[in-house]
């Protein structure tokens, strides 16, 4: 078992005086049970139930009062409890409507008990079984595949973790971090895959694991379809989603099919509730709040880049490229950036957004928007020269602040630039892998532009060189 960032947030939850029963959300096989098992070391008593097992589910079928139910669980687990901190973990809780309803009573009558529930198809099952959920009496945390930093820890690259956590990352460490990030972009972040890769470092041996995961996803989700026809549509969407990832999609005819918009829309929304893919809708504003426009075509984001590579047959081509942007039309760079951005606020669920300006004679699209303090920061993934970022320039013309970010395969640097319309702005150029520390880099970026008085440098064809970059804080933006 390797450590996960979510454990830090579980410890914060454990120590909170306002603690409620916690529902841990995430796709199947992203490591929820393993994370809770690691976290359980902080307790004197650990009670673990899996409600897909009949003998565990029966405990909730008798509708016992909550304190009697707790005693029944202790007897079932053959544990004699006297005192100390207790963690009750209810896995696959969506399998039992009675267990879901009991969360309310645990919260109201046994506040000292620490309760975590988990369910991979939680939202789907709530709808299918018409389960009443105790709103206001539970809280949520979300788990995603391993981030780049977690991947480094899992394969024993502790020195690389230190380099990644340093802001700005030292120039001598960039080559190593690029190499490791390329490996992460190939393998992905599914725990079982990473565990096997950490032992063997053999990507060719991972195919059975990828296939097993994809098959289990298809079987698990499609069985909750309302009929056999919808089950087939869901399987079609899982099969073709890797080929549509990174693109703005139309529901009608998705994956070269004859399915109608309503059918594909329903299937994709089921898969989104299962957290296997995400429909990322664009925003049209440049300031907070960032409100997605669901009347426009969404962009598809897949669960994990390793699964994407395997399902779309891209693994064999990985070693021919050093720059992810030159590979598969740059879609892999966008997928991994989106995957990392979703996990930036560990334990929370924040779907990434992008920006569009759609006019007959002027189309523009910025890859990602990131909210930082009172700013909406545009994040572009580009390999070309700064001056060719036409969409970014259009965003900056509308923006009320002068800060932008480019992710690319280069060094860390800050440029002062201007749009064709004359708007002055500051561009933070970052290697792809720095996306996992974006908040920390933005904190450093704003301080750097202020300390260097960049706003006082006149913009002309001969811009004075920017002084050497100073050291910042750590990955979380602390000095």
pLDDT in tens, 364-384: 899 999 999 999 999 999 865
Q: How confident is the model at residue 458 (pLDDT cuts 50, 70, 90)?
A: very low
d(CA 57, CA 51): 5
Write down the CATH number for the domain with range 6-142. 3.40.50.300
User: Which of 130-144, 157-171, 252-266, 451-465 is the least confident region?
Assistant: 451-465
CA distances from 393 to 161, 328, 422, 425 (A): 34, 25, 10, 9
CA distances from 286 to 356, 377, 395, 401, 415 (A): 10, 8, 7, 9, 21
Average of per-residue pLDDT values in the chain: 88
Return the closest-CA partner of residue 139 out of 121, 109, 116: 116
d(CA 444, CA 100): 44
Contact 121, 148 (CB under 8 A): no
Domain borders along the chain are: 6-142, 148-281+302-329
Q: Which pLDDT belongs to residue 450?
A: 83
Q: Which pLDDT belongs to residue 464?
A: 44
**Residue 433 CA from chain centroid, whole number:** 14
Question: What angle separates helix 97-109 from helix 54-61, to the nearest 10 degrees?
Answer: 60
Would you say residue 454 has pLDDT above 70?
A: no
Would you say residue 435 has pLDDT above 50?
A: yes
Q: Which pLDDT belongs to residue 348?
A: 75
Give the mean pLDDT of 99-104.
Answer: 91
Q: Which pLDDT belongs to residue 324?
A: 54
pLDDT in tens, 18-46: 999 999 999 999 999 999 999 999 999 99
Contact 44, 87 (CB under 8 A): no
User: Which of 165-179, 271-285, 308-322, 433-447 is the least confident region?
Assistant: 308-322
Q: Which pLDDT belongs to residue 280?
A: 95
The string of DSSP codes covering 111-135 is: TTSEEEEEETTHHHHHHHTT----T
Q: Which pLDDT belongs to residue 31?
A: 93
Give the mean pLDDT of 101-128.
Answer: 87
Q: Cβ contacts of residue 368 below 8 Å, gap of 6+?
A: 337, 338, 341, 352, 353, 354, 378, 379, 380, 381
Q: Which pLDDT belongs to residue 109?
A: 94
pLDDT in tens, 129-161: 666 777 788 899 999 999 999 999 999 999 999
Give the mean pLDDT of 157-170.
Answer: 96
Give the mean pLDDT of 165-180.
Answer: 94
d(CA 253, CA 29): 30
CA distances from 2 to 8, 42, 202 (A): 13, 16, 19
d(CA 419, CA 314): 37
pLDDT in tens, 257-308: 999 999 999 999 999 999 999 999 999 999 999 999 999 999 999 999 999 9
When comparing pLDDT for 308 and 463, which is higher? 308
Q: Which pLDDT belongs to residue 460?
A: 43
Would you say residue 179 has pLDDT above 80?
A: yes
- Length, in residues, of the chain: 479
Give the mean pLDDT of 445-451.
Answer: 88
Would you say residue 362 has pLDDT above 80?
A: no
> Taking the model in full, what pTM does it have?
0.90
Q: Which pLDDT belongs to residue 479?
A: 45
Q: Which pLDDT belongs to residue 461?
A: 40
Would you say residue 468 has pLDDT above 70?
A: no
**Other C-beta atoms lying within 10 Å of the C-beta of residue 14:** 16
Q: Which pLDDT belongs to residue 344?
A: 85
Would you say residue 478 has pLDDT above 70?
A: no
When comparing pLDDT for 457 and 370, which is higher? 370
What residues does 15 pair with on adjacent strands?
none
The string of DSSP codes covering 8-49 is: HHHHHHHH-TT---EEEE--TTSSHHHHHHHHGGG-SEEEEE
d(CA 335, CA 303): 9
Would you say residue 194 has pLDDT above 80?
A: yes
396 three-state secondary structure: helix
Interior angle at CA 131, CA 62 and CA 123, nearest 5: 125
Q: Which pLDDT belongs to residue 108?
A: 92
């Amino acid at each position: 078992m390797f450590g996960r960032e979510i454990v830090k947030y579980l410890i914060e939850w454990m120590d909170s005086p306002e603690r409620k029963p916690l529902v841990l959300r995430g796709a199947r096989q992203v490591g929820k049970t393993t994370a809770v098992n690691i976290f359980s070391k902080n307790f004197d008593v650990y009670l673990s139930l899996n409600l897909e097992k009949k003998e565990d589910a029966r405990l909730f079928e008798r509708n016992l009062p909550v304190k009697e139910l707790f005693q029944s669980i202790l007897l079932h687990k053959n544990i004699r409890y006297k005192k100390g901190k207790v963690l009750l973990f209810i896995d696959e809780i969506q399998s039992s409507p009675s267990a879901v309803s009991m969360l309310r009573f645990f919260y109201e009558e046994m506040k000292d008990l620490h309760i975590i529930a988990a369910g991979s198809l939680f939202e789907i099952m709530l709808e299918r079984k018409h389960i009443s959920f105790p709103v206001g009496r539970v809280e949520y945390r979300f788990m995603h595949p391993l981030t780049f930093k977690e991947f480094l820890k899992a394969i024993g690259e502790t020195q690389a973790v230190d380099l990644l956590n340093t802001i700005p990352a030292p120039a001598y460490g960039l080559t190593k971090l690029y190499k490791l990030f390329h490996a992460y972009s190939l393998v992905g972040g599914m725990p079982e895959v990473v565990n096997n890769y950490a032992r063997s470092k053999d990507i060719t041996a991972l195919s059975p694991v990828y296939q097993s995961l994809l098959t289990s996803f298809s079987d698990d989700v499609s069985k909750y379809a309302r009929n056999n026809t919808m089950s087939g549509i869901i399987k079609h969407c899982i099969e073709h989603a890797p080929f549509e990832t990174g693109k703005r999609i139309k529901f009608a005819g998705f994956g070269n099919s004859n399915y109608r918009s309503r059918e594909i829309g329903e299937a994709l929304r089921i898969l989104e509730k299962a957290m296997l893919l995400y429909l990322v809708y664009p925003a049209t504003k440049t300031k907070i709040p960032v409100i997605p426009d669901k009347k426009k075509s969404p962009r598809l984001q897949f669960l994990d880049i390793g699964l994407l590579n395997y399902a779309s047959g891209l693994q064999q081509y990985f070693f021919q490229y050093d720059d992810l942007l030159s590979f598969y039309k740059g879609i892999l760079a966008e997928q991994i950036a989106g995957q990392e951005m979703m996990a930036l606020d560990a334990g929370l669920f924040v779907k990434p957004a992008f920006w569009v300006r759609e006019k007959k004679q002027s189309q523009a699209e910025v890859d990602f928007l990131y909210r930082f303090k009172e700013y909406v920061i545009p994040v572009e993934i580009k390999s070309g020269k700064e001056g060719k970022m036409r969409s970014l320039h259009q965003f900056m013309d509308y923006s009320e602040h002068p800060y932008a970010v480019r992710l690319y395969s280069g060094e860390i640097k800050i440029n002062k630039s201007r749009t064709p319309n004359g708007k002055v702005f500051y561009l933070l150029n970052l290697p792809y892998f720095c996306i996992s520390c974006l908040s920390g880099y933005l904190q450093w970026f704003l301080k750097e532009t202020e300390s260097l008085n960049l706003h006082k440098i006149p913009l002309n064809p001969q811009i004075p060189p920017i002084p050497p970059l100073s050291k910042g804080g750590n990955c979380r933006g602390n000095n």
